[in-house]
């Protein structure tokens, strides 16, 4: 083929996004789409408010915030392991604001946003991109493993032909071994014609990132379980396993569907299949929508916190060195 290298296309995209006007426009678009996702669900949220106590909704929201914070902690551990330890306020700003990019169709805008926001504070773009990619991979693999908790309890035939595939997903955990992952990262940087990383990933950093990710899945599953019990699901071990494992599996599948913002639709279908028989169909639909809205609110809260914090260290002066 005679097309230009992917690295050249990405480089030009990053140059365009360095314009203050383009960046503000992107932020407004991403924020608008995230807010729209909440507002558009107004009628369903009203039904949820009627079916669920406000105390239960508050607990579910707190669990959503804890889930997002665990995701942030996993990302920050990877960033430090790659040789870019960052102050908490800077990390909050970069991660919190970049996560709004998940709500823009395409599946890559949070990565691009993290690269540019990180560059504002002297973090090399290749390091930011690699950090987001590795943290996402950790989330996908740990989510696939946690998802195994649900599979033994899923109603027979509910997952159809996808069942064997889901059972095999945890096998990809081998890519989290530093010798394997470092080779994959080095290959990707060569293909993109970017300089190699300053230092490779280690066992300790990846182990800590994985633990934070697993903790996040458990909290997210607890959020689903709290909502499901409020809608009539039995508060037993089977229900808890379906909630925890089902949410993790749904997120993994939603991640693989990159043509819609934040996996919209795909995750709902997986949760519908996993929770089949535990709740009426309409209740499951309401559950997955309320769960999504609560996580969106948590993302917005973290983005708001990131927008409010100040670096105080003149991070923008180092921007020219963040290549």
Q: Give buried/exposed letters for 91-111 (b at 16+ CB in 10 A, else e).
A: bbbbbbbbbbbbbbeebebbb
Q: How far apart are CA 4 and CA 323, in angstroms?
A: 20
* Better pLDDT: 94 or 194: 94
Q: How many Å is the Cα radius of gyration of the chain?
A: 20
**pLDDT higher than threshold 80 for residue 294:** yes
pTM, 2 dp: 0.79
Residue 282, pLDDT score: 77
Q: What size, in residues, is the chain?
A: 323
When pLDDT is cut at 50, 70 and 90, the band that residue 320 belongs to is very low
Calculate mean pLDDT across residues 274-292.
82
Q: What is the pLDDT of residues 63-79, one digit of tens each?
A: 999 999 999 999 999 99
Residue 5, pLDDT score: 43
Q: What DSSP state is assigned to residue 197? A: P
Other C-beta atoms lying within 10 Å of the C-beta of residue 228: 26
Q: How far apart are CA 160 and CA 164, in angstroms?
A: 9
Q: How far apart are CA 63 and CA 73, in angstroms?
A: 15
Q: Which residue has the tokens 């998802």?
A: 147
Structure tokens given for 180:
């394997």
Q: How far apart are CA 65 and CA 59, in angstroms?
A: 10
Residue 322, pLDDT score: 54
When pLDDT is cut at 50, 70 and 90, the band that residue 149 belongs to is confident
Residue 323, pLDDT score: 55
Question: Which of 92, 110, 95, 94 lies closest to 30 in space, CA to CA?
Answer: 110
Q: What is the pLDDT of residues 79-93, one digit of tens each?
A: 999 988 889 999 999
> To the nearest whole percent, how much of the chain has pLDDT over 70?
70
Structure tokens given for 39:
């507002």
Q: Is 279 helix (H, G, I), strand (E, B) or coil?
A: strand
- CA 78 from chain centre, in angstroms, equals 14
When pLDDT is cut at 50, 70 and 90, the band that residue 283 belongs to is confident
């Amino acid at each position: 083929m005679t097309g230009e290298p992917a690295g050249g296309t990405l480089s030009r995209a990053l140059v365009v996004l360095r314009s203050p006007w383009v960046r503000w426009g992107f932020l407004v678009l991403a924020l608008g789409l995230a807010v729209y996702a909440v507002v558009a669900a107004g009628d369903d949220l009203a039904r949820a408010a009627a079916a669920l106590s406000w105390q239960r909704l508050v607990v579910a929201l707190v669990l959503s915030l804890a889930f997002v914070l665990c995701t942030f902690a996993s990302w920050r551990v990877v960033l430090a392991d790659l040789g870019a330890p960052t102050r908490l306020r800077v990390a909050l700003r970069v991660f919190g604001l970049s996560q709004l990019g998940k709500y823009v169709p395409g599946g890559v805008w949070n990565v691009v946003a993290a690269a540019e926001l990180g560059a504002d504070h002297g973090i090399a773009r290749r390091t930011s991109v690699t950090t987001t990619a590795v943290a996402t991979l950790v989330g996908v693999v740990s989510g696939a493993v946690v998802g195994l908790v649900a599979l033994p309890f899923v109603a027979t035939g509910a997952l159809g032909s996808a069942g064997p595939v889901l059972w095999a997903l945890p096998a990809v955990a081998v890519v989290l071994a530093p010798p394997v992952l470092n080779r994959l990262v080095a290959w990707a940087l060569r293909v993109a014609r970017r300089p190699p990383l300053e230092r490779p990933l280690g066992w300790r950093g990846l182990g800590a990132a994985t633990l934070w990710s697993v903790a996040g899945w458990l909290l997210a599953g607890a959020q689903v379980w709290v909502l499901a019990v409020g809608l009539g699901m039995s508060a037993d071990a089977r229900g808890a396993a379906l909630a925890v494992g089902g949410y993790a599996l749904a997120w993994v599948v939603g991640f693989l569907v990159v043509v819609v913002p934040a996996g919209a639709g795909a995750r709902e279908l997986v949760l519908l299949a996993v929770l089949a028989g535990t709740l009426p169909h309409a209740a499951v639909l309401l559950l997955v929508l309320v769960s999504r809205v609560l996580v969106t609110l948590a993302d917005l809260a973290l983005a708001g916190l990131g927008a409010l914090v100040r670096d105080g260290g003149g991070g923008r002066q180092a921007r020219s060195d963040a290549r």
